[in-house]
Amino acid sequence: MRILHIDAERGWRGGQQQAFYLHEGLCKAGIHSDFVCQKGSMLQQRLKEEDLPYKAIHFLAEIDIIGSKRLANYAKHENINILHAHSSHALSWALGAKIFYPSVKVVASRRVDFHIRKNLLSHRKYMSPRLDAIVAISRHIYDVLLADGIPQSKLHLIHSGIDLQRFTNSQAQKNFRSIWGIPEESLIVGTIAAFVGHKDYPNFIQAAALARQQNPNLHFIAVGSGPKLEQMEQLARDLRLSPGFTFTGNQTEVGSLLKVFDIFVLASQKEGLGTSVLDAMSVGLPVIGTTAGGIPEMIVNLQSGILVPKSNPLALSETILRLAADRDLRARLGKAALERVKLFSKEEMLHKNMDLYQNLL
């Protein structure tokens, strides 16, 4: 196996973390693994910091014949036999590279539960005979792709995985409550998610407003950044949530934040899987998630968390109030979450990808 991973994004989100874990795991296992990323991306910075092999290539657009030719030449030079594309644009470049390097196998990871777009480019890309396998990171995505006409023989279900020990040594942020103006007696309900449409922040914010009407000692925290941040801050002001709602912006020390939460919520309308749920489970937090996408594959309702209907602020607020009022239920769900999350380790994800690579070869 000689694997070359490709990622097109400049930022760092769950998909980049998963690609990083896979690349890192393959290298540690003694398998030849390399990485092509965008010049100046956060992924390049992280790979450089961890001294993992990579090559930064500047791609001009999704359809970039020169970039694909450059990618093919590099893959040939390194005797690569599998290209693993971790984003939609990366798949375009990988399929373009296969024109110049026909013997290479192409694998695509699909991390979103949106249907394949109807435009010609997307359809031809995912239906291309040059695409050998698609990794769906949840059963829900697998079913969406199947409904879109992808042959079942090309589909492989491999759940995303997390580092179960990542936050073992994390400590709750010192003076957190005083820094953010949170009363000592408040119960903290937090979420960690990008401010983009499918994360459905209006659902979370409206539920917060309803819940605080019944229990003013609840304090809500939203961690993340994105194009809808200012709009959501305005929504919180319109609902007069201040001072009971805090926007922290992007934070690097996620573990220290999870350790100060009492309840974790993911209020998404759509969700490929949602590894922030797994992170919260790994520190023993009681989790509330919607029934969107792959979230029910992580949470067993009323056993390792609680599921609520998506886009339903009333149901979400009632569940938050129920958990806030029942310390024993919070403790029981958190303990069960610690066991459930073991099924979603990065090691399990690594081994299943290695099996896929071996079968392709």
Ordered domains of the chain (ranges, CATH): 2-161+345-360 (3.40.50.2000), 176-344 (3.40.50.2000)
Residue 65 has pLDDT above 90, yes or no: no
Per-residue model confidence (pLDDT) at position 14: 86
Residue 53 has pLDDT above 80, yes or no: yes
d(CA 46, CA 29): 20
Segment 245-267 mean pLDDT: 94
d(CA 106, CA 258): 37
Segment 180-195 mean pLDDT: 95
Residue 300 has pLDDT above 90, yes or no: yes
Per-residue model confidence (pLDDT) at position 58: 79
H helices present in 245-326, as ranges? 254-258, 275-282, 295-298, 313-324
Share of the chain above pLDDT 70, in %: 100
Per-residue model confidence (pLDDT) at position 253: 86
Q: What global pTM score does this model have?
A: 0.90
Residue 275 has pLDDT above 80, yes or no: yes
Residue 278 has pLDDT above 80, yes or no: yes
- Mean pLDDT, all residues of the chain: 94
Query: Which structure tokens are listed for 306?
Result: 């609680």
pLDDT classification of 67: cutoffs 50, 70, 90: confident
DSSP letter for each residue of 213-252: HH-TTEEEEEE---TTHHHHHHHHHHTT-TTSEEEEE--S
Per-residue model confidence (pLDDT) at position 133: 98
Residue 62 has pLDDT above 80, yes or no: no
